Amino acid sequence: MGEKNQNVQEQDLNQLLKVRREKLANLVEAGKNPFEITKYNVTAHSMDIKNNYEEMKGQEVNVAGRIMSKRVMGKASFCNVQDLQGNIQSYVARDSIGEESYGFFKKYDVGDIVGIRGEVFETKTGEISIHASEVTLLSKSLQILPEKWHGLTNTDIRYRQRYTDLIMNEDVKKTFIMRSKIISSIRRFLDDRDFMEVETPMLVSNAGGAAARPFETHYNALDEDVKLRISLELYLKRLIVGGLERVYEIGRVFRNEGLDTRHNPEFTLMELYQAYTDYNGMMDLTEDMFRHVAQEVCGTTKITYGDVEIDMGKPFERITMVDAVKKYAGVDFDAVPDTEAAKKLADEKGVHYEDRHKKGDILNLFFQEFVEEKLIQPTFVMDHPIEISPLTKKKPDKPGYVERFELFITCREMCNAYSELNDPIDQRERFAAQEEAFAAGDEEANHTDEDFLNALEIGMPPTGGIGYGIDRLVMLLTNQPAIRDVLLFPTMKTLGGKDQ
């Protein structure tokens, strides 16, 4: 029975699609092919009209958008047009636009894009509308908009057809408008602090600066294998060496990893580097920036995420990784003498590790297992073990640890920052340790970058650096549960050999 109903629905849909194409053919035959129109002079948008009605009452305006609903009532009709800002109603009467134009208008479909010229007025029911004097068909929709798109449980279709999602879901459009505002706000914040925005290569011979597997491709012209960048770090540091004291880049990076609510293989990363400061300076800058962006974009420093209120107006908590593990797991790694003792503790606590892992790696595994899920309010976790921080300066008073922090909000890492390692001899030794880790099976280990080492030998000043996951910040400020909800076109598995 269900299959029979589906077949009937498909036949009905095919008939509707056929009718739309016939309507287009009729328009073309009548010399009114909408696809021959090249432009339309838009003078106003829906919400501007509604918000400024007293000033605009009686004015002639040109609006353009998609017909979202239509009621034909003999000699007069109403249609609702959606533009960038929202929706506005139009009153379309035969006597106002002419009999021929009205005849064509009556055959327009929901989904068609129209331009409407007319006077701004208010209906008897109090709805601000446009009394049309001219209606122009600008594009014919040959597909059917889904009637109950908002209620669809199949989010897969929404992600694949984001264009339809944006049409049917006002909240989705607002999220991506906010995303743009968030990035603009970040740029203003950094520009006001004399940071310089730069661009660095995406295709690289050595994808370093992070623990991740790269995508690999082949450059035909040079007959060389190259990789897509996994980080922005090593090129930006070269610019610090070159004397550009404050630099940042907002750009796509690519990591050959799985998909989940927090990860997409291509995502937006921002990294910045500032000469003559350290990770404490980066903490201050980060706290100021998050507070600034929240206030400017959301109008408040108290953000609701899910059912939790996140207060970015208060000073962010600062705690070392060792103290955090001690607080939440009851284990003091300062009292753990060596790797063997750390592995024994991990066995007792049921923390899985690999043979190659050392004490610092196991401390990090304890942090991931017992601490991350507790960090809801903004918290800087500082002073990571050296084993997981190959590009970071050692703490002078605690050489097994480095001057590094990660900011956690809603149990998610929002950024990662260092006092940058500028000792070329130490850096070469760290690269060597990474090469050994790669040989031992760590596919995410860094490889030695000789040109970067040469840059360090030229001389890099003391520098603070940081990387921000822009998508996660957007998720936080727009109250979205998954990274796909803040990426216009998230990575999707192809269907039937092609993306659909």
Angle (CA) 216-218-221 rounded to 5° is 155
CA 299 from chain center: how many Å? Answer: 20
pLDDT higher at 396 or 9: 396
- Tell me the mean pLDDT in the region 283-312: 97
pLDDT attached to residue 153: 53
- Tell me the mean pLDDT in the region 202-220: 90
The position carrying tokens 């998508």 is: 471
Is pLDDT at 305 greater than 70 in this prediction? yes
CB 424 within 8 A of CB 456: yes
What CA–CA distance (Å, rounded) separates 486 from 483? 6
Question: CA of 278: how far to CAs of 118, 195, 274, 382, 408, in Å?
Answer: 61, 16, 8, 13, 19
Is pLDDT at 384 greater than 90 in this prediction? yes
CA 75 from chain center: how many Å? Answer: 48
pLDDT (tens digit per residue) in 146-174: 876 555 556 788 899 999 999 999 999 99
What CA–CA distance (Å, rounded) separates 468 from 415? 4
Range with the poorest average pLDDT among 45-59, 62-76, 382-396: 382-396
What CA–CA distance (Å, rounded) separates 212 from 491? 18
pLDDT attached to residue 1: 53
DSSP string computed for 368-379:
HHHTGGG--S-E
pLDDT (tens digit per residue) in 434-488: 888 888 877 777 788 999 999 999 999 999 999 999 999 999 999 999 999 999 9
pLDDT attached to residue 332: 97
- Tell me the mean pLDDT in the region 19-26: 96
Beta bridge partners of 62: 117
CB 242 within 8 A of CB 221: no
Is pLDDT at 233 greater than 50 in this prediction? yes
Q: Which of 11-15, 367-371, 493-497 has the highest mean pLDDT?
A: 367-371
CB 215 within 8 A of CB 267: no
What CA–CA distance (Å, rounded) separates 212 from 112? 46
pLDDT higher at 325 or 429: 325
Residue 391 φ/ψ, nearest 5 degrees: -120, 20
Range with the poorest average pLDDT among 193-197, 280-284, 495-499: 495-499
Token reading at 111 = 């989904």
Which residues are CB-neighbours of 306 under 8 A, at least 6 positions away?
410, 479, 481
What CA–CA distance (Å, rounded) separates 253 from 231? 6
CB 89 within 8 A of CB 78: yes
pLDDT attached to residue 3: 63
What CA–CA distance (Å, rounded) separates 252 from 390? 23
pLDDT attached to residue 377: 98
* E strand spans, 187-335: 196-197, 203-204, 216-219, 224-228, 246-254, 266-275, 302-305, 308-311, 317-320
pLDDT (tens digit per residue) in 260-297: 888 999 999 999 999 999 999 999 999 999 999 999 99
Range with the poorest average pLDDT among 26-35, 174-183, 427-436: 427-436
What CA–CA distance (Å, rounded) separates 71 from 110? 10
- Tell me the mean pLDDT in the region 63-88: 96
Beta bridge partners of 317: 379
The position carrying tokens 């690519």 is: 254
Tell me which amino acid residue 67 is.
I
Query: For residue 500, how many other CB atoms are within 10 A of its CB?
Result: 11
pLDDT higher at 223 or 7: 223
pLDDT attached to residue 442: 78
Is pLDDT at 500 greater than 50 in this prediction? no
> What does DSSP assign to residue 295?
I
What CA–CA distance (Å, rounded) separates 252 from 215? 13
CB 204 within 8 A of CB 451: no
Element at 415 (helix H, strand E): strand 412-419
Q: Is 1 helix (H, G, I), strand (E, B) or coil?
A: coil
Is pLDDT at 499 greater than 70 in this prediction? no
Q: Is 113 helix (H, G, I), strand (E, B) or coil?
A: strand
pLDDT (tens digit per residue) in 104-113: 999 999 999 9
Question: CA of 463: how far to CAs of 203, 278, 387, in Å?
Answer: 25, 6, 21
> pLDDT exceeding 70 applies to what percent of the chain?
96
The position carrying tokens 């880790």 is: 437
pLDDT attached to residue 443: 76
